[in-house]
Amino acid sequence: MTVLDPAHTMTPQTYMQQLSRWRALEIAFWLATLLPFWLFPTYLSLASQIAITALFALSLDLILGYAGIVSLGHAAFFGLGAYSAGIFTKFVWGEPFSGLLVAALVAGVVGYASSFIISRFRHLTLIMITLGLGLLLHEAANSASWLTGGSDGLQGVSIQPVFGVFKFDLYGYTAYGYALGILFLCFLFTRHLINSPFGLALRGIRENFTRMPAIGADSRAHIRKVYTISAIIAGIAGGILAQTTETVALEVLSFERSADVLVMLVLGGAGRLYGGLIGAAVFLIARDQFSGINPQYWYFWIGVLLVVVVMLLPNGILGGLSKLTARWRRT
Amino acid sequence: MLPPVFGVLFDGIAYGMLLFLLSVGMSVTLGLMNFVNLAHCAFGMIGAYVAVMLMKDFNWNFFATLPFAFLSAALVSVVVERTLYRKLYRATDLDQVLLTIGLAFISVAAAAWFFGTTQQPVAMPSYMRGSINFLGLNIGIYRMFLVAVGIVVTILLVMTLEHTRFGAQVRAAVDNQRMARGLGIDVDRTFAVTFALGSGLAGLGGALAIEIVGLDPHFAFIYLVYVLIVVSVGGLGSIAGSFAAACLIGISDIAGKYYVPELGGFLIYLVMVAVLMWKPAGLFGKRS
Amino acid sequence: MRSMLYASAAALALACVSTAQAQDTVKIGVILPYSGQFADGAKQMDAGIKLYMKLNGDTVAGKKIEIIRKDVAGPQPPVAKRLAQELVVRDNVDILAGFLLTPNAMAAADISAEAKKFMVIMNAATSIITTKSNYSVRTSFTLPQVSATLGSWAVKNGVKKAYTMVSDYGPGHDAETSFQGAIKASGGEVVGSVRMAVANPDFSAYVQRAKDLNPESIFVFIPGGSQPAAIGKAFAERGVDVSKTKIMGTGELTDDSALANMGDNALGVITAWTYDHNHKSALNEKFVAEYRKDNNGENPNFFVAGGYDGMHLIYEALKKTAGKTDGEALVNAAKGMKWESPRGPMMIDPETRDVVQTIYIRKVEKVGGKLVNVEFDKVENVKDPVKAAMKNN
């Protein structure tokens, strides 16, 4: 997080401008996301699943990193998006963007409705209510197997080419391009959002929920808004997964998915825009490599990775790194 | 002849006791020490495996293994507390989550490595099996034993934390660490002992649970959600709260399965959400 | 334009792949949940694969067999699909195999269909899986194959009324539908049913509910793992008298590890299944002895048999094609194939590519102080009833 340096006072406008300026490292990051197309074409499928998970983590970062809402049930929106896109594709038509729109809409409506509940609670209660609502949805999807396919998964999802031209191919060129493109657009939106006065207000809520109304910012209204936006983005991420894999299974709504994305975000560094992106990439690549070497006990090494990161780099990889660079600059 | 509802109540309470024993330790560490320990059920798993190994490889009696289930989980937790957890008492909740989830992953892999992935067989003494007929109700003998253990543990815990010198030290250390240190209380030691107590209880709960729910390396994760539900519904740091919440969850789970099996999977989550909406701090909690 | 480019690049790559494979190895990509809750089954199936290769060598039709193992960690179709895709495009495998869980098999079948790769399903038991790819065959069983057979057998043998208890998820629903259907079709009656929550550590309430109805027989389907023992204990604790109420189920219910946990509570339980290590045949005795040698004296179960027979099918198909590995050739070689397995006579139905086999009816008895599933009846040449019904409509 950028902290105001009292030695260099500036107008709010210049502060906001400075916040939203693109740095060289950021541009390099996004250019690097294009590398798999040429360097690792056989890893594109993994790359697109990383992009989808990164988008999901970004959506969680909005509420957790910026508004301080810890959710253990965020997979609810991911899953809603996935099922909406999947069912829409199966029964209406297979054009991808309209499918994503439906996913965003359904997740957004449910997110908005549940935001009235969410905004009333804090701390453990909030975590458990999000968890409970998520698990209820998971059970509902299992029960409604006539619609969702239940535990066998939704079958018969057949997606049309993107823009009517780019067919989803075996290698995953289209899938990765599609997922990356949507991730980038959502990222631009999020970046803009958190560098706006609204974003500042959210950080204020995170730091002190009760004091914000005193300076004229209605904490609950802000929380409802950001929760809805976060639900929409999570829904889009789920929608992309359904479309690129042409199936939806109950695990999109599972507790494991909620917990995994939380772990990835915290691993990368919550409240840092790129935290979820880095966390998702590190976690999924580590998992892929470890399980390639040792299919039976790879999670031992994932566990070690998490413990080592916490012990050496508090506040996640990005948090730890920025602390290290700050120390390095000082000396 | 008693109507079936009494049988349902009894089974529910017995199941609740299982949940209570597994979760009361977390209520203590999370509520009193503010430490988010998602590896809590891993300590339960240690107790469970110790009990099974002693029974299987050394032919011990089930009851004789229980103290060792408690002690081994407590011992391991002291080591973990001294080397890892204490460094994070002041860290953010999120860092604590990351660390303890990492430890849970490690524990699952370690259990699979040492004990294999198969279900562990448990041989209860024959007099613990079956049921007695009480006014037309089937009362499972093992379930009666569970209820008894649950009640004894509750009484002991409440006595310890409310009426002993150690309990007073814990409460003082929690309320104001600096002041407690000033009064000469060894806060580090107090926390370590509290933590060991909580984990030991989880170990005991784990050993008692295997007869009903079985044991494989995924124990560390399967019951995490149930434990979190009991702790939050009961209210943080309240032993009586955990007890009441465990009974409530146990009874509603069993009653739901008996009377409305269509709602089987939903019911405990519905109960939890409803309770928390009504009382955000939980049944007996002072703060959320 | 770009997509054309990619498509032709991919085609080119695939072409390179197939020419590269004209060499001397056949690669088999095995996708199983090696970690997670289903790890036990994956380990056993893997042991079955290993055993077959140990007994029959790792060269077939002049080619060396190479296995590449991938962990899918649970019912995660997106991961299964990605792994199948990576196996095909990165590791250049010729055959996809394994598949413990239905959703994973369904997702990987898309890749098999698209890349025209031979796919051997060694466990997943939902009927429709094999309809998703024309290059897939199954060497395990289908759940309706077992439960419908048990249903009609039960009525023929004097059961008139049945109560069903199944896990509330896809396979449970399949088992319920086919068992109840068979009971009704044979003139029996279903007196009640319950679907039990999947995440369900304590069965006592469901069992009590069933017992209060005092049915003549109870049919149970639950997934293997921790649940069979738990429900067995619940039956005993509730005092369900097996001599008055017949308890029936699919073989998971009385798997060895379940029997070890249930103890004498299991006596008298009747199950229908495809394989048990007590099956009497010379081939099976040798199979069991060899398996026990390599696996700390454990007995093989249906996962092992599924993997073992799957490898047998692959070896025999490769012999027939003289080492040719394209999907078309292999699947044609597999269609109609017959062989003697440790579980008895097996065949791949040339029409549905699904397995045709004997279903054994067994009862848990004490033999030499040990609990054993004793086969006392059998139904031969059972086809998957769901696909048979689909064809008739």
Dihedral (Cα; A242, A243, A245, A246), 10-degree rounding: 90
CB A37 within 8 A of CB A44: yes
Per-residue pLDDT of chain A in tens (331 residues, 90 and over written 9): 445 555 556 777 777 777 778 888 889 999 999 999 998 888 999 999 999 999 999 999 999 988 888 899 999 999 999 999 999 999 998 899 999 999 999 999 999 999 999 888 888 888 899 999 999 999 999 888 888 888 888 888 888 888 888 888 888 899 999 999 999 999 999 999 988 888 888 888 888 777 777 777 778 888 899 999 999 999 999 999 999 999 999 999 999 899 999 999 999 998 888 999 999 999 999 999 998 888 888 889 999 999 998 888 888 888 888 888 888 877 6
**Residues with Cβ within 8 Å of residue B128, at least 6 apart in sequence:** B62, B141, B142, B145, B211
- The answer to whether A171 faces chain C, any CB pair under 8 Å, is yes
Both tokens assigned to B248: 């409530």
Q: Kindly report the nearest CA distance between residue C264 and chain A, in angstroms.
A: 33
Cβ-count burial of A165 within 10 angstroms (0-12 exposed, 13-18 middle, 19+ buried)?
A: exposed
Residue A221 is predicted with a pLDDT of: 87
The overall average pLDDT reported for chain C is 88
**Phi, psi of A201, rounded to the nearest 5 degrees:** -60, -40
In 3D space, the residue among C141, C45, C138 whose CA is nearest the CA of residue C359 turns out to be: C141
CB A59 within 8 A of CB A115: no
Distances (CA, A) of B224 to A256, B48, B86, B104: 11, 15, 22, 10
Residue C129 has pLDDT above 50, yes or no: yes
Residue B288 is predicted with a pLDDT of: 44
Q: Kindly report the nearest CA distance between residue C377 and chain A, in angstroms.
A: 32
- The answer to whether A160 faces chain C, any CB pair under 8 Å, is no
Dist CA C208 CA A23 (whole Å): 66
B264·C260 Cβ contact <8 A: no
B84·A129 Cβ contact <8 A: no
Residue C4 is predicted with a pLDDT of: 44
B265·A143 Cβ contact <8 A: yes
> Minimal Cα distance from C236: which residue of B?
B130
C110·A166 Cβ contact <8 A: no
B-C CB pairs within 8 A amount to 111
Amino acid, single-letter form, for residue C59: T
In 3D space, the residue among C81, C60, C59, C62 whose CA is nearest the CA of residue C72 turns out to be: C81
Dist CA C239 CA A245 (whole Å): 49
CB A90 within 8 A of CB A157: yes
A291·C107 Cβ contact <8 A: no
* E-only strand ranges, chain A: none
Q: What confidence tens digit (pLDDT) does each residue in B196-230 have?
A: 999 999 999 999 988 888 888 888 888 898 999 99
Q: Which of C35, C196, C202 sits opposite B213 (nearest CB)?
A: C202
B117/A248: higher pLDDT: A248
Greatest alpha-carbon pair distance for chain C in Å reads 73
Enumerate the residues of chain A whose CB falls inside 8 A of the CB of residue C84.
none
Enumerate the residues of chain A whose CB falls inside 8 A of the CB of residue B113.
297, 300
Q: How many residues does chain C have?
A: 393
Q: Which of C71, C114, C126 sits opposite A170 (nearest CB)?
A: C114
pTM of this prediction? 0.90
Per-position b or e across C157-170, b if 16+ CB within 10 A of its CB: eebeebbbbbbbbb
Lowest mean pLDDT among A86-90, B245-249, C382-386: C382-386
Residue C33 is predicted with a pLDDT of: 93
Both tokens assigned to B48: 């469970």
Residue B184 has pLDDT above 90, yes or no: no
Q: Which of B106, B112, B273 sits opposite A303 (nearest CB)?
A: B106
CB C190 within 8 A of CB C200: no
CB A74 within 8 A of CB A53: no
Per-position b or e across A66-97, b if 16+ CB within 10 A of its CB: bbbbbbbbbbbbbbbbbbbbbbbbbeeebbbe
The number of C-alpha atoms within 13 Å of B40 and in the hemisphere containing its C-beta is 30
Decide: helix, strand or coil at residue C359.
strand
CB C355 within 8 A of CB C347: yes
A-C CB pairs within 8 A amount to 124
The mean pLDDT of B86-112, rounded to a whole number, is: 89
Residue C22 has pLDDT above 70, yes or no: no
Lowest mean pLDDT among A138-142, B274-278, C7-11, C98-102: C7-11
**Phi, psi of C164, rounded to the nearest 5 degrees:** -115, 140
Enumerate the residues of chain C whose CB falls inside 8 A of the CB of residue A296.
34-35, 39, 43, 71
Q: What confidence tens digit (pLDDT) does each residue in C176-232 have?
A: 999 999 999 999 999 999 998 887 778 888 998 898 888 999 999 998 777 888 888
Q: How confident is the model at residue C12 (pLDDT cuts 50, 70, 90)?
A: very low
Both tokens assigned to C143: 């759940």
Name the pairing type of β-strands C370-382 and C118-121. Answer: unpaired
Decide: helix, strand or coil at residue B209.
helix
Lowest mean pLDDT among B135-139, B252-256, B274-278: B135-139
Dist CA A280 CA A316 (whole Å): 12
Provide the phi-psi class of B237: left if phi over 0, else alpha when psi is between -120 and 50, else beta. left
> Minimal Cα distance from B267: which residue of A?
A136
Q: Which of C43, C196, C261 sits opposite B214 (nearest CB)?
A: C261
Enumerate the residues of chain C whose CB falls inside 8 A of the CB of residue B216.
37, 40, 225-226
Q: Please tell me which chains touch C, using 3 or more CB pairs under 8 Å as the contact test.
A: A, B
C13·A171 Cβ contact <8 A: yes
Cβ-count burial of A160 within 10 angstroms (0-12 exposed, 13-18 middle, 19+ buried)?
A: middle
Lateral strand order in the sheet of C118-121:
C59-60, C63-71, C25-32, C95-98, C118-121, C136-138
- The answer to whether A142 faces chain C, any CB pair under 8 Å, is yes
Residue C10 has pLDDT above 70, yes or no: no
Residue C170 has pLDDT above 60, yes or no: yes
Dist CA C329 CA C321 (whole Å): 6
A142·C168 Cβ contact <8 A: yes
Residue C392 is predicted with a pLDDT of: 67
Q: Kindly report the nearest CA distance between residue C242 and chain B, in angstroms.
A: 14
C230·B214 Cβ contact <8 A: yes
CB B230 within 8 A of CB B23: yes
Both tokens assigned to A220: 């609950």
Q: Which helix (H) or strand (E) holds C32?
A: strand C25-32
Q: What confidence tens digit (pLDDT) does each residue in C319-353 have?
A: 999 989 999 999 999 999 999 999 999 999 999 99
C205·B8 Cβ contact <8 A: yes
Residue B129 is predicted with a pLDDT of: 76
Enumerate the residues of chain C whose CB falls inside 8 A of the CB of residue A292.
70
Angle between helices A123-143 and B267-278 (to 10 degrees): 150
B135/A144: higher pLDDT: A144
Cβ-count burial of A176 within 10 angstroms (0-12 exposed, 13-18 middle, 19+ buried)?
A: buried
Angle between helices A255-268 and A75-91 (to 10 degrees): 120
C77·A249 Cβ contact <8 A: yes
**Residues with Cβ within 8 Å of residue C293, at least 6 apart in sequence:** none
- The answer to whether C7 faces chain A, any CB pair under 8 Å, is yes
Dist CA B54 CA C382 (whole Å): 46
